[in-house]
Structure 1
Amino acid sequence: MQIQKSARRVYLSLGIIALFSSNLFAQTAEEEAAELAKKLANPIASLISVPFQNNTDYGIGEFRGTRNTMNIQPVIPVSISENLNLITRVIIPVVTQYNITGENSKQAGVADVVASAFFSPKNSEKLTWGVGPALLLPFATNDLLATKKFGVGPTAIALKQTNGWTIGGLVNQIWSVAGEEDRPDVSQLFFQPFLVYNWKSGAGVGANMELTQNWQASQTTLWLNPTFSAVTSIGKQKTQFVIGPRFNLAAPTGGKADWGWRAVLVFLFPK
């Protein structure tokens, strides 16, 4: 975070006071950036945030297709007791893809939504964790982006934060329990280990892996996402920027991408 500082010195004593006040303000702002970065590295921190995560992937399949997925992911913590938080997280994918289902084809719209809720202790000193339900909601606006199924299953997260490092993992398993009978059932595992290092300035570097296992079709998809991040302000609005490449390490036959990139803009609403 860059802080503009100025002090007009008329007398030496006033200059010393102004300089001291300016340095104190910068230190406070840096500490705030570091604290926000630490919370952002924790997916179940008690911090309201609205991330817009954009993934663009190229060279997919037989027709060298392109897919752009904008994931809108509001995270809202709710205090439900003196010792327990409920962290709600919704992922709304907005997809535009070309030459994926066929040559010169295009699909666009909202895909199915995944909503999660984590019950997490407020005062976890050694290990931060949360468990709860995950829901697959059939809200897709395009049939080729839809499962047409309602699903449910468990989700869990655990992480450790120390000396600027955050290391942990998130997992969920969803089974379909209702929906259109002519569509395949859903039995899908998602696992995301992550590692982040944040400097006191709020800048950070890290990586995560995203493994999706479709048990029903015996298909595995695996992405590696290195990232660089920074916390700053747009006017009075606290924000985080994240950017990095994407590497598709495994995919179903005919569905692997050559490469991709990720860019994220997060709006923060600290208490």
Structure 2
Amino acid sequence: MKHFKLFVILVLATMFSFAQEQPATDTSSDADKLAKQLANPIASLISVPFQANIDFGIGPANGTRFVLNIQPVIPLSISEDWNVIARVILPVITQTDVFGESGNQFGLGDALVSSFFSPKAPTSDGLIWGIGPVFLVPTSSDKLLGTEKFGIGPTAVTLKQIGNLTVGALVNHIWSVAGASDRADINNSFFQPFIAQNFPGGYSISLNTELTQSWDYNTTTGTINLIGAKVVKLGKQPAQIAIGPRVPYGNGNTAEWGFRALFILMFPKG
């Protein structure tokens, strides 16, 4: 927990520093363009987000969980008209008493690997979309940090950008097909509608909900996330810093409250 507090202090201090010290060129079209690309999960932009989530008041023992999601996004051109966007989410987790008085665990969680086949150009109506497979890979280092199951299913994303406004949704469904026989099977749907508004100077604010429905066990868990963000420059390296609250909901092993902080490295073409 001490490391997490230090992380949050550093993020807040850096955001304040950039807000006070960035020159007028920070309002350039480059920062605005990058902020708009980041609002699109399947943009032709290499990025490496580090997403930190902290949740409090989980379950009957009032547990806490800190998850650092390392989630590189790599677009690959496969033809004149099509891209494949590869996305990996690898969680590093530290938690205490999340499943009753279960003690402390630290290590890797299960990885989520997605590939979206997406046209390079929007449709005539301005719709941007992608579809492909998603894989749940049992990379967890502790049985309380993962499912010990290998899963597969479809995933899709669709969005529309109207000026500086982005509206869309990402969905997937995963069925377990292999893994430990003594662990629960997976038959889960994930739904993430999102809306983002960009402002001059690389600023943005976004709202999304991340909902997971377990059909076999009739449990619903999710969070509503409100995030304020700013594109900055670390020397010549473009990045985005963001922070905001998380509001948990559902009938599963949910938290009482939490918040999220992000640091995203970007590698634009050219």
Task: Tell me the TM-score normalised to structure 2 length.
Answer: 0.89
1:199-222, Cα deviation, whole Å (9 max, x unpaired): 121101110001000112111002
Residue 64 of structure 1 corresponds to which residue in structure 2? 62
Residue 209 of structure 1 corresponds to which residue in structure 2? 209
Larger radius of gyration: 1
Matching residue's letter, 2:191: F
Pair 1:129 & 2:129 matched? yes
Residue 78 of structure 1 corresponds to which residue in structure 2? 76
Stretches of structure 1 that go unaligned for 5 or more consecutive residues are 6-25
Contact kept in structure 2, 1:222 and 1:251, CA below 8 Å: no
Residue 243 of structure 2 corresponds to which residue in structure 1? 243
Report how far residue 34 of structure 1 moved. 0.5
Q: 1:180 to 1:198 in 2, by over 3 A?
A: same
Residue 268 of structure 1 corresponds to which residue in structure 2? 266
251, 254, 257: which is aligned to 1:256?
254
Query: Pairwise mapping of residues 100-139 of structure 1 onto structure 2 (< 5 A)?
Result: 100-103=98-101, 105-125=103-123, 126-139=126-139
- Using the alignment, how far apart are the partners of 1:194 and 1:4 within structure 2? 31
Q: Secondary structure at the match of 1:194?
A: strand
Q: Percent identity?
A: 50
Report how far residue 188 of structure 1 moved. 0.7
Q: CA RMSD in A?
A: 1.5
Report how far residue 242 of structure 1 moved. 1.1
Residue 10 of structure 2 corresponds to which residue in structure 1? none
The count of corresponding residues between Structure 1 and Structure 2 is: 248
Q: After the TM superposition, which segments of 4 or more aligned residues of structure 1 sit over 3 Å from their partners?
A: 1-5
Task: Tell me the TM-score normalised to structure 1 length.
Answer: 0.88
- Using the alignment, how far apart are the partners of 1:37 and 1:251 within structure 2? 35
Contact kept in structure 1, 2:116 and 2:131, CA below 8 Å: yes
- Using the alignment, how far apart are the partners of 1:139 and 1:133 within structure 2? 18
Pair 1:44 & 2:39 matched? no
Stretches of structure 2 that go unaligned for 5 or more consecutive residues are 1-17
Pair 1:145 & 2:138 matched? no
- Using the alignment, how far apart are the partners of 2:259 and 2:146 within structure 1? 24
1:215-264, Cα deviation, whole Å (9 max, x unpaired): 12111002100110100111111100111000012131xx2211100000
